[in-house]
Structure 1
Amino acid sequence: MSDVTLSEFVDATATRFGIPGVAVGVLADGRDVFACHGVTSLDNPQPVDSDTLFHLGSVTKTYTATALMRLVEEGRVELDAPVRTYLPELALADEDAAARITVANLLNHTAGLDWNLLVDTGDGEDALAEFVARLPELDLIAAPGARASYSQAGYCLAGRIIEKVTGQPFEQALAELILAPLGLTNSFFAQHEITARRFAEGHNAEADGSLTVARLWRPSRANNAGGGLASSASDQLRWARFHLGDGGAALPTDALLAMRRPTVALRASTLGDAIGIGWFLRDIDGVRTIGHGGSGNGQFSELLIVPERDFAIIVMSNAGPEGIACNRAIVRWALEHYLGVLDRDPEPLPYDPSRATELIGAYAIDAMTLTIAGDEAGLNLAVGVKPEIRAASDQDVPPDYPAAAIGLLPGDEYIVTAGGLRGQLGYFSRDESGAVVGIDLGGRLFQRVGA
């Protein structure tokens, strides 16, 4: 397997999807291989290399979960303890839920919290504390432990636990618990540290297909624990080596293995078959993988590790909406060419209009609406920021995902077959009477609105 072949595939794939800059790192046969394409920005182009910083988005959650596991190993946190053990001030819309949610519920997305609370609590060291104080405004979508639904707010809470236990701002605590011990010297939260180095700017597609630079680097500081880290391909392979068992003094092997064990099963999810502690677990062609993806404003990342084969791949790209598809194509190619592992999408069933009728409608989370529409020819799915949210924002909000075809699978499951979300799996959920009341996409529950 030559390095040139990987580079050629990355170049061709990035060009096909129209991505300005892509950084890929592969750990195979005990060595690191990098393949980088294009430029950091269309406005201020610099060549992408293995040390270029990209916004990791939710891959950051693996760092937050690992930091908490260090605190568990030190006897300072218990996974099964109620969150109020460490945050007695926690209040939610439901008092019973606030009393029952555990630390483990936050880390495997079973706390019953909706996706997130769209508030900007500033850039001060009190950002997370102020965010937690606003949580009574957040919707609850299930009882604690009842089901998995991906929640950014849950990881914000996890970050606040780290602050309270260590007595430090989240970013400083994570640096001391994780970044410094592992020698991750090219990973940062602070924008002034990021922009002092070579960094990739995100890009979004305009209506005519042209790309423009996304000016918003990341959401507010309170979201750092769930998605604020910027890092390079070289640092991400160091991170993968650590989780493959090279824990050193930072975390013993048994704790690393515990993070890979299933805690809750997932249904029809592109994220995986189950969630461990901070990791999504997925069997691909008979091989168990652990991984996590992330997205920001025009930036997308995908980290996948195959523990039994001592293999890892990180892909980071800087344009939407095709960044997800680009990353996925590169990961699948690497799995096949390095490991002989094939990852294929399920084939949709023949379209049945009578089955589709009850699915049509609008579904929502805090800031976004998912719309299912259709006719005799087929169904489509669109995801967009709510107009009132977009109108009220003074920041650069990512564009919507326009309507794209979906195909139905057995049961109430589906797959997106076109557009920037193609390949994404999900399912429709029903109440006790059998009525469709929600749809899962990207691990998040969108609840049905209106008639």
Structure 2
Amino acid sequence: MSYATLSAFVEGTAQEYGTPGVAVGVWADGQEFYACHGVTSVENPLPVDRDTLFQLGSVTKTHTATAVMRLVEEGRIDLDAPVRKYVPELVLSDERAAADMTVLNLLNHTAGLGWNVIVDTGEGENALADFVARMTELEQLAAPGTRASYSQAGYNLVGRILENVTGLTYEQAIASLVLEPLGLSNSFFAPDDVMTRRFAVGHDFGEDGTLAVSRPWRVFRANNPGGGLTSSVTDLLRWARFHLGDGRAEDGTKVLSAEALHQMKEPTVELVASSLGDAFGIAWFLREVDGVRTVEHGGSARGQFAALHVVPERNFAVVVLNAGPEGTPFNQAVVRWAFENYLGLVEKDPEPLPYDEAWAREVAGAYENDAMTLNVVTDGAGLTIDAVIKPEVRAASETELPADYAPAAMGLLPGDADEYIVTEGGLAGQRGFFSRDESGAIVGIDLAGRLFTRVPAAS
């Protein structure tokens, strides 16, 4: 596959989705291929190149987990140990959960924690400690180890484990354990480091439908372990190649054992009807595409979206960084094209069944977690879902939050597991399932790996 072919596809797809700036990297057949298109900002445009910095969002979780694995190999962290062994100050709304959850529960999202605590604890070195102190406000969705539910707060808590074990700030720990040994010299957390280099800003649609710069540029420091790293396409592809390798840096320095890298890619908990994949490893989402195992993680920030996919048995990786409001479908289109054109792997979304009025009426209603409400609505002919940030969360936030997802069509998938797929809009391609209690009543919905609990209907 030539550079020109990749570049032409990336440019055409960026134009199709209205993506102002994008950088794509591919590792295939022992070679690197790059394609960059567009500008860093519609207000102050500079050409996007291989060194342009983008926010990685939740892809940062792979760096956080890898740092933990280094300390596991050094005997300083035990994956099966209680979190309180390393964060004795931890207090949660559920004391039993706080005492029982393990480090592994945090790393594979089985701690039962809600999504996040929306609180800015400042830019000081106590940001994570203060965040952990506020975790008493977080909903406990389930007992540790009983189910998977994706949690940003859980990874921020992992960051606090790194601080307490190393005696460093989280950012210093990641630099010493991961970034510096691997030569990731174009990856940063601090805005002061980013602003002296070429970097992309996020974009959303303004009220008039035109592209507008997302503000503020980043979220609070305490969110760094779960989503705060800023990096370039070259650094992210080097990161992907490390996870395809034997644990050595490009200069031959051993950073992690091959066994530990392999362990991170092994299933630890199964996922049901999830757009995130078939299982969680340690940080990684695991999926089978056309009969081949893929290992991946995505991320989003303020109008920016990242995708990192590796295929170990083919020694292949594709990374995508973009700064546009349709970033998720753009990334999905690029990854699927790369899989098909470099590897011959074809991924297709399952087709929903025809509208089932009885099922639609059964699942219709409002569902919520600590930050958002999902509204599932039927008009007697079709079923739609929207995602709305709670008004009190918007009111309490000191920063501008992303726009809500407008109602989009969804449908029931074959089988008897109450699985669904969203077929249009910004949530297109998202899969999940409705959960029932012992009596068979619908009590929750999973979307993007997160549990939303049904809101009782008003009497």
Moved over 3 A (4+): none
Matched, 1:271 2:276: yes
CA contact (8 A) 1:201 1:214 kept: yes
1:56-75 residue pairs with structure 2 within 5 A? 56-75=56-75
Alignment partner, residue 298 of structure 1: 303
Partner residue of 1:436?
442
User: Where does structure 1 lack aligned partners over 5 or more consecutive residues?
Assistant: none
Asked if 1:403 corresponds to 2:407, the answer is: yes
In the superposition, relative to structure 1, how do residues 243 and 48 fare at CA in structure 2: closer, same or farther (>3 Å)? Answer: same
What's the CA shift string for 1:393-435, capped at 9, x where partnerless? 3322111110011111133111110001101111111111111
Choose 37-46 or 391-400, whichever is displaced more. Answer: 391-400
- How far the C-alpha of 1:391 sits from its partner, in A, is 2.8
Q: 1:145 to 1:323 in 2, by over 3 A?
A: same
- Hey, what's the Cα distance between the residues in 2 that align with 1:53 and 1:377? 46
Aligned to 1:259: 264
Question: RMSD over aligned Cα, in angstroms?
Answer: 0.9
Equivalent of residue 395 in structure 2, options 391, 398, 412: 391
Q: Is the 8 A contact 2:118 2:393 kept in 1?
A: no
Query: Offset at 1:80?
Result: 0.3
Which residue is 1:315 aligned to? 320
Partner of residue 425, structure 1: 431
- Counterpart-to-counterpart distance in 2, 1:215 and 1:227: 17
Contact conserved, 2:118 with 2:397, CA < 8 A, in 1?
Answer: no
In 2, the alpha carbon distance for the partners of 1:218 and 1:445 equals 26
For the 8 Å contact 2:119–2:397, the answer to whether it is kept is no
Q: Given the alignment of the two structures, is residue 375 of structure 1 paired with residue 379 of structure 2, yes or no?
A: yes
Instruction: Tell me how far apart the structure 1 counterparts of residues 392 and 134 of structure 2 sit (CA, whole Å).
Output: 20
Residue 3 in 1 paired to residue 3 in 2?
yes
CA contact (8 A) 1:117 1:137 kept: yes
| Residues 133-153 of structure 1: CA deviation (Å, up to 9, x unaligned) | 111111100000000000001
Asked if residue 339 in structure 1 is aligned to residue 352 in structure 2, the reply is no
- Paired amino acid for 1:117: V
Counterpart residue type for residue 436 of structure 1: I
Could you list the per-position Cα deviations for residues 370-405 of structure 1 after superposition, in whole angstroms to 9, with x for gaps in the alignment?
Answer: 111111221111111112222333322111110011
* Aligned partner of residue 426 in structure 2, secondary structure: coil
Query: Which residue does the alignment assign to 2:39?
Result: 39
* Paired AA for residue 419 in structure 1: G
- Give 2:418's aligned amino acid: D
Q: For residue 200 of structure 1, what is the aligned residue in structure 2?
A: 200
Counterpart in the other structure of 1:155 = 155
C-alpha contact (below 8 Å) 1:273/1:283 kept by paired residues: yes
CA–CA distance in structure 1, aligned partners of residues 209 and 312 of structure 2: 39
Whole-Å Cα distance in 2 between the matches of residues 435 and 218 of structure 1?
A: 41
On the 8 A contact 1:53/1:232 being kept in 2, the answer is yes
Aligned equivalents of 2:150 and 2:139: distance in 1? 13
1:217 and 1:432 map into 2 onto residues whose CA distance is 45
Deviates more, 1:385-394 or 1:351-360: 385-394
Scaled by the length of structure 2, the TM-score of the pair is 0.97
1:447 corresponds, among 441, 448, 453, to 453
User: Which runs of 5 or more residues in structure 2 are unaligned?
Assistant: 249-253
Structural mapping, 1:80-119, within 5 Å: 80-119=80-119
Assess if the C-alpha contact under 8 Å between 2:23 and 2:233 holds in 1.
yes
Amino acid at match of 2:374: L
CA shift in 2, pair 1:393/1:133, >3 Å:
closer
Determine if contact 1:353/1:375 at 8 Å carries over to the other structure: no
Q: Displacement of 1:246 after TM fit?
A: 4.1
Q: Residue 384 of structure 2 contacts residue 409 of structure 2 at CA under 8 Å; is this kept in 1?
A: yes
| Secondary structure in 2 matching 1:420 | helix
Question: Identity over aligned residues, as a percent?
Answer: 65
Deviation at 1:211, TM superposition (A): 1.2
What displacement does 1:346 show? 0.2
SS in 2 for 1:446: strand
Aligned to 1:51: 51
Q: Separation in 2 of the partners of 1:440 and 1:207?
A: 30
SS at match of 1:268: strand
Distance across 2 between alignment mates of 1:392 and 1:260? 38
Matched residue type, 1:80: D
- Corresponding residue of 2:332: 328
Structure 1 position 285 matched with structure 2 position 290 = yes
CA distance in 1, matches of 2:246, 2:224: 26
Deviating more after overlay: 394-403 vs 14-23: 394-403
On the 8 A contact 1:20/1:42 being kept in 2, the answer is yes
Scaled by the length of structure 1, what TM-score is found? 0.98
User: Is the contact made by 1:42 and 1:213 (CA closer than 8 Å) also made in structure 2?
Assistant: yes
Q: Partner amino acid for 1:398?
A: P
**Contact residue 36 and residue 50 of structure 2 kept, 8 A:** yes
Cα offset, 1:118, TM superposition: 1.1
> 1:263-283, CA deviations, whole angstroms, 9 ceiling, x for partnerless residues?
000011111100111101000
CA distance in 1, matches of 2:255, 2:182: 7
Partner Cα separation in structure 1 for residue 396 and residue 73 of structure 2: 44
Maintained 8 Å contact 1:203/1:318:
yes
